[in-house]
Amino acid sequence: MKFLFSTLLAVASATLAVANPAWHGEESWLENRAIAEHVSPPRSISYHGKTPCKIPPHSPPRNKVCYVKSHNDSSTDDSPYILDALHQCNNGGHVVFKEGTKYLIGTALDLTFLEHIDIDIQSYILFTNDTDYWQANSFPFVFQNVTSFFKLGGNDVNIYGGGTVDGNGQVWYDLYAENIYILRPVLFGIDGLHNSTIKDLVLRYSPEYYHFIANSTNVVFDNINIAGASKSVNVAKNTDGWDTYRSSDIVIQNSVIVNGDDCVSFKPNSTNMLVQNLSCNGSHGISVGSLGQYEGEYDIVENVYVYNISMINASDGARIKVWPNIASAQSGDLQGGGGSGYVKNITYDTMSMANVDYAIEIYQCYGQKNLTLCLEYPSPLTITDIVLKDFTGQTSSKYAPQTSSFACSSTTACGNIVAQDIDVVSPGGQQDAYCLNVDNTLLDVNCTSTSLGFN
């Protein structure tokens, strides 16, 4: 063991000496050793359960270390220090946010230039509570008024380290209660990220979604801890764990999420997704959608596998939500309808439930309270080849005796929806489900024609 440590230390010292050729002698060796000891070693990612079709390639060795400076207080913006370190160590370096140090971010950061870089967050990072600045300067996306504190993109980017990123959400929860039209930044805004990993992080108090992943491919999220409830009477709303958009080959796994909206949501044009080994508490389920929101847009969600999920105190377990073919309003700041496309080849495999309102909810009337009007204008977006299997547990009493809802807006909109080995019961032991315009013979539930939960 002593020989192994000495060998590894020598390798680390030699690597750092390449990046700093002026270092030499005993004093420099000690400096190099101190630096090596403050760098988190990259941890390989393992896939317990299902293996993705594609995983990020192995990153080449990083040959330089950059430490991010900090004012280490709660009032001075450290953004210039952060940008400086990222630029210095881009293309082959390792950036360290040092343990025991506080960093404050008060500037919107465009980080889409990153290439072949490790970002080692051992510290506590906080975003400022200047809501006027962030509404004017955060980065806009083109979907549902999404904006972000920073925009992360590039190739071969690895972020890890065990530190905490805090969105300072309370001021946003209170402000949204006053004005639903404010633009709340997401904590991790990802745009054009490829062949990368984000793992071993603690995320707290995001103003809105914790992750919005757009225009990205081959990214793995592993061992992420998410939480951040409001400390006032104003609820933290729309705090999705992950939303994917125009992205493919995304893996989300081995994580704990305590939030107030979708645990994971596959937004338009999400393909080849694997989500596994999650504990979701307080969420709106693992959701496909919402889709069909924008008239003239063609939305696709295809080839999604969801495996081994624990769902507690949630509105839904497995959920597919589609807007009807008529203008509808879920809320004042969330309106839509009239889009087309398809949902295809979606599997929900092994899900345990406790106090979940609906174990399964598939509906094409999202945002439309009038069922008659929804059926009069059925969605042109089809839902086919859906498998839901090996569900266990108990629902809440909200829709009892119903435990699930399968509501399609026409007989041609849905096909081959299979629910098998569904052992989820209401508190009274029933297993009823509302079934509309679906093939009841493929559903391992007791179908009824009266909905107790249409919304």
Per-position DSSP letters for 270-314, written without gaps between them:
EEEEEEEEEEEES---EEEEEES-STT-EEEEEEEEEEEEEEEEE
Q: Cβ distance 119 to 183 under 8 Å? A: no
Tokens coding 182: 């404010």
| Arithmetic mean of pLDDT, 375-385 | 96
Q: Cβ distance 298 to 286 under 8 Å? A: no
Separation of alpha carbons 437 and 432, rounded Å: 16
Tokens coding 14: 């030699």
Which of the residues 94, 116, 211, 284 is marked catalytic? Answer: 284
Pairing of strands 93-97, 109-121: parallel
**pTM above 0.75?**
yes
Separation of alpha carbons 149 and 190, rounded Å: 10
Whether 434 has a pLDDT exceeding 90, the answer reads: yes
Q: How far is CA 417 from CA 128, 298, 306, 431, in A?
A: 47, 21, 16, 18
Backbone angles phi, psi at 189, to 5 degrees: -95, 115
- pLDDT at residue 325 in the model: 94
Q: What is the pLDDT of residues 409-432, one digit of tens each?
A: 999 999 999 999 999 999 999 999
- As a whole-number percent, the residues of the chain with pLDDT over 90 amount to 85
Q: What is the pLDDT of residues 178-234, one digit of tens each?
A: 999 999 999 999 999 999 999 999 999 999 999 999 999 999 999 999 999 999 999
- pLDDT at residue 37 in the model: 61
Separation of alpha carbons 396 and 50, rounded Å: 30
- As a whole-number percent, the residues of the chain with pLDDT over 70 amount to 91
Q: What is the pLDDT of residues 80-122, one digit of tens each?
A: 999 999 999 999 999 999 999 999 999 999 999 999 999 999 9
Separation of alpha carbons 90 and 113, rounded Å: 8
Q: Cβ distance 393 to 385 under 8 Å? A: no
The residues, ordered by sequence, that sit 6+ positions from 315 with a Cβ below 8 Å of its Cβ are 283, 284, 285, 356, 357, 358
Mean residue pLDDT of the chain comes to 91
- pLDDT at residue 10 in the model: 38
Closest CA to 81 of 67, 98, 65: 67
Give buried/exposed letters for 213-230 (b at 16+ CB in 10 A, else e).
bbbbbbbbbbbbbbbbeb
Separation of alpha carbons 222 and 52, rounded Å: 13
- pLDDT at residue 40 in the model: 92
| Arithmetic mean of pLDDT, 48-75 | 95
Closest CA to 351 of 405, 303, 393: 393
At residue 382, the 3 state secondary structure works out as: strand
Q: Cβ distance 437 to 411 under 8 Å? A: yes
- Alpha-carbon torsion angle 335, 330, 146, 261, nearest 10: -170
Closest CA to 283 of 217, 361, 347, 222: 361
Q: Cβ distance 407 to 376 under 8 Å? A: no
Question: Would you place residue 371 in the very low, low, confident or very high pLDDT band (cuts 50, 70, 90)?
Answer: confident
Verify whether residue 284 is a known catalytic residue. yes
Question: Which one-letter amino acid corresponds to residue 45?
Answer: I
Q: What is the pLDDT of residues 9-58, one digit of tens each?
A: 333 333 333 333 333 333 333 334 445 568 998 878 999 999 999 999 99
Question: Would you place residue 454 in the very low, low, confident or very high pLDDT band (cuts 50, 70, 90)?
Answer: low
The residues, ordered by sequence, that sit 6+ positions from 414 with a Cβ below 8 Å of its Cβ are 362, 364, 382, 383, 384, 406, 408, 437, 438
